[in-house]
Structure formats: C-alpha cells, structure tokens
Structure 1
C-alpha cells in the first residue's frame, strides 16, 4: 500500500481558499474514479472505507480508509484501476485565489512576502497540505467533512458562512505547519513565542532571553516558528516593530527617530532603512502620504 508523504501543496493566504461544493460517493467493486482534466478547482478526497486507485499525470496512489488525496486543478486525473471492495469517500472542491504551488516536503515555501504584504496589507501565511496524507482522527462519520455534508444537504444561502468556516477548519487540521516532527505541539509553542514577542517587542530581546522566558532552546523555538508562520523569532520581532511603527506614524506626531526608539530600534538610521526596505517608502514619506 502507498504510504502517505511526498509532495506538499503550498497555498498563500490571505486570500484564503474558498469552498465551492462537497459530496459523498459510494463505489461498489468494479466502479472507478472518473477521468478528467483541467477541473479548474482543487479536489480534496477523504476516504472513509475501502480503497481508491487514482492517478494524476505520472503519479499513482492507493488511497485507503483514513487517507486524504489532494488533486490539483490543472492536472489530468484518472482511475488506475477499479475498486476491489465497497469504497466510500467524501470529496470537497475548492478554489484558491492566491498563489499556490507544489514542491518537495523540505521546501520552506514560495510566497514573495514583500509583494504579498503590499497587495494584501499583511505578510502571507503559507498553508502546507500533503498531497497524499492522513486524516486526523477517525476516518469516517465525524469531523468537519461530515458537518460540511450535512450543511450541503440543507442548500440554504444562510449556511454559506458556516460552510466556509468548517472548510477552513478542515484545512487547518491538515496543515503540516501545525505538526512538528518531534511530536511536540509546534503551533502551541509558536503561539506562545508570538504572544511573548508582541508583549515585549519594545524591549531589548535576544534569542537567549526568549529561550530563558519560554523554557525552550532557541533552536526549537525557531523550528516551531518557521513551521507555523515561516519566520524566525527575530524576524517576527522585526515584523512586529515595523507594524507598530507604522501605526505610531499614523496616530501620533512623534518624530521618526522617537517612533523608532519607542518600538525597539536602537538608532534612527537603521530604523528608517529597515522601514523603507519593508514597505518601499521611508517613514517620513509614509507619514506625509497618509496624513494629508
């Protein structure tokens, strides 16, 4: 049987992928997954019982109970061979408005942070989904996929918000950034690190201080932060300082040098240079542009 792993699909957010439709299919022995190309949307398959034999271009998978398979919108999908036993699965179709790609699991991501931040006003979060993976929890009859099916049956316009929420929870449960190879809760450690940095960004912060305050080796904090949001703790610290500086420039009349000092930069020239590199404009020009 094919083992989960291999390529990872990367989706930059925001904008987050959006749900279009879902359903459940039940195959008897001899039935096969349809062959089609250029579907135009992602097809996420959650197998509850039995096994599907599916191909995409030159890759083949045996997708058994508890496995997930993410078929890409611009590829040719086909049945490798018919089912050999009764097989049931939930399928979820969704679209991605933002940048997406596929690469080896070791790749760190692909999004151009500066370009994304300029377009959407925030650095990207890169969702990492295994193309062939394992569904967290019980494989059938529970979880977000089951609730999505129940909502889909209602076909009420008022359910659109709930469907999207449940779909995002499903993606969240599959997101590899939430999982740490050591089995420790990477997301929890990353969130603790983020909260501490946001509470103390204006103070002198070093890796040693973070390690001492959070009771984890700095290398482990870095691994968790990189996995969850793609930044090291020090990179995240600078992002916080620059975002706070932008707010102070808009909401106060403090000098540029004073703003830099208030958010934790030790000297004004370095603050101005990093601000310009991050936002493409000097702090003074930024204030003048938005305070007219």
Structure 2
C-alpha cells in the first residue's frame, strides 16, 4: 500500500508569464560560513547536495539538509541563523515572477480539475497556475542534471543559449511540481484525479458504475466519496458537468447542430441533451449559442 506523505506547503504562481531566471550558482561552503542578512525582490531557490544550510526567513528557521530544497520569497528578510558545521555543497537559483504568491497545502491542490480553455474568441489567456514546493526533500538524481545544464548555459550565455536556459528553468519547475503531485498528494486526492481522468476518457460512454469500479480497482462507493470530497460532485454529476462544458465549447466553436453536439458528448437523445443543458446552465443550447455569437 502506498505510504501517505504529510502535506507540504506549495507556492502557487500565476502563469503566464513563466518565472524568469536571473542567475544560477554552485559552490562549497566551508565549516563556519554563514549566510548574510538580505531582503530583495527576488525568489532565491536553494538546493543542498551535501551538508546542512541553516536559513531563517522572517523569523522562521529552516535546516536544509542533504537532498532538500527551500525557496526564499521576495521582500522577506532571510539570514543564516547558524554557520555550516561541515563542508556544504549548494546550488542556488534567483528568479523573478510578477504574480502575487499564495501558499497552498499540497493535499488541497486541484490537480485534475479542468481549467478554462482558450478559444479563437479570446484575446487574453485564462488564468492558469503552477505549484512549486516551498521546503521539501527532492530526488537529486532527477534535479542535478537540470541544474548542471543550466550552469553550462549560464556560463556561456548568448542569444543562442538564452531561450534554452529559460526552458531548462521551466523543466526544473515541471520536475518539482511532478514530485509534489506524486509524493505528497493524499491517496484520496490521487484517486479523485484518476476518477476525473476516467470520466474524461469515457465522456461518450453511458455511465457504468461497475465498469468504473473495475477500471480503477476500488469500490465505487469509495471512488465516489473521494471525488465528492474534492469536487462536491458525484461521478454522474461530474460526467454531466464535463458533457455540458464540452457542449459549450462545441456550440461556441463549431456549426454542428444541437443534435450532433449531443451525439458528440455521448447523448443520443436530443431532447434529453437539451433538458440536461438547461438544468446545468438555465438556458437551452440554442440560447447559449445565440448569446455567445452576440458577444463576438
């Protein structure tokens, strides 16, 4: 059975834009070296390969042990509250990001809840977010190659290497976010995500609780409880929500008839589709399409 990991704090950053790298460094701190007092408008991400780095941020002390990382946030006071006791190998990355930060427990991140998708009517991106751990242990075998490649690109910085360098930073964030999702999400959260993926994949299939149970290898009642815990919907309610959201996109972006759209989302009976759409939105599919066309 998968061991449950305690939740960790994650920083929620709005994207786009992606965070932008300022600098990256790698050094060995001898015993007795201690970080100076500093507060600046920059994120400072620290990775410890060997030894222990002792840092305090706004009176909150951290011991960054071997295989751990910490992100110090902009405009907070950070200082080494204790000198290194042994040779300590660290990588550091300074990056900037204009969006305000919010701290979220890893167990509360809605990993698989669908976000609004852009259409050809949009002129600005819909809000999207990324998550990175504030303070945690990481698999350095996955992280170090990214850090080393970033160092190489930074040392030979040129117009040819600037974009690959920023891309490597994005790859590092992907790695950290993946670790948060796979290591620190509670089992109920992961099963909720699996249930959502199942319903998305079987959007056009008639709802079958037994098939869902057999596919996910958990009792249907337990799957339903996990889904409801994070979405406030039963599996059937969530399927209907998915179908209506998909129908909205088809109404906005295609010239398919209402009946054809119903078939596209797995509802053969056009009258039933219209009733379901009206129940979910308060208007008929035709009224929705007319209203959206009137907005363009």
2:67 is aligned with 1:66: yes
Q: Paired residue for 1:263, among 248, 262, 265?
A: 265
Looking at structure 2, the residues matched to 163 and 203 of structure 1 have their Cα atoms a distance apart, in angstroms, of 44
Looking at structure 1, the residues matched to 96 and 23 of structure 2 have their Cα atoms a distance apart, in angstroms, of 10
Looking at structure 1, the residues matched to 227 and 94 of structure 2 have their Cα atoms a distance apart, in angstroms, of 30
Matches for 1:164-179 after TM superposition, within 5 Å: 164-175=166-177, 176-179=180-183
Identify which range, 25-34 or 267-276, moves more after superposition. 267-276
Shift of 1:249: 3.3
- Which secondary structure does the structure 1 equivalent of 2:213 belong to? helix
Looking at structure 1, the residues matched to 67 and 87 of structure 2 have their Cα atoms a distance apart, in angstroms, of 15
2:155 is aligned with 1:153: yes
Matches for 1:7-156 after TM superposition, within 5 Å: 7-37=9-39, 39-108=40-109, 121-122=125-126, 124-127=128-131, 129-138=132-141, 142-156=144-158
- Which secondary structure does the structure 2 equivalent of 1:210 belong to? helix
Shift of 1:114: 7.9
- Which secondary structure does the structure 1 equivalent of 2:82 belong to? coil
Q: Is the 8 A contact 2:116 2:126 kept in 1?
A: no
Looking at structure 1, the residues matched to 156 and 288 of structure 2 have their Cα atoms a distance apart, in angstroms, of 53
Looking at structure 2, the residues matched to 169 and 207 of structure 1 have their Cα atoms a distance apart, in angstroms, of 38
Shift of 1:14: 4.3
Structure 1 residues 139, 178: CA separation in 2 closer, same or farther (over 3 Å shift)?
closer
1:284 paired residue number: 290
Shift of 1:15: 4.0
Q: Is the 8 A contact 2:47 2:70 kept in 1?
A: yes
Q: Is the 8 A contact 1:24 1:91 kept in 2?
A: yes
Looking at structure 2, the residues matched to 241 and 170 of structure 1 have their Cα atoms a distance apart, in angstroms, of 36
Looking at structure 2, the residues matched to 121 and 240 of structure 1 have their Cα atoms a distance apart, in angstroms, of 23
2:255 paired residue number: 252
Looking at structure 1, the residues matched to 130 and 243 of structure 2 have their Cα atoms a distance apart, in angstroms, of 18
Q: Is the 8 A contact 1:40 1:74 kept in 2?
A: yes
- Which secondary structure does the structure 2 equivalent of 1:170 belong to? helix
Looking at structure 1, the residues matched to 249 and 126 of structure 2 have their Cα atoms a distance apart, in angstroms, of 13
Looking at structure 2, the residues matched to 236 and 40 of structure 1 have their Cα atoms a distance apart, in angstroms, of 44
Unmatched runs of 5 consecutive residues or more in structure 1: none
1:212 paired residue number: 214
TM-score, length basis structure 1: 0.72
- Which secondary structure does the structure 2 equivalent of 1:282 belong to? helix
| Pair member with larger Rg | 2
Shift of 1:190: 4.6
Q: Is the 8 A contact 2:251 2:289 kept in 1?
A: no
Aligned residues: 275
Shift of 1:200: 3.0
Shift of 1:216: 4.3
The alignment's C-alpha RMSD in Å is 4.3
- Which secondary structure does the structure 2 equivalent of 1:212 belong to? helix
Q: Is the 8 A contact 2:14 2:127 kept in 1?
A: no
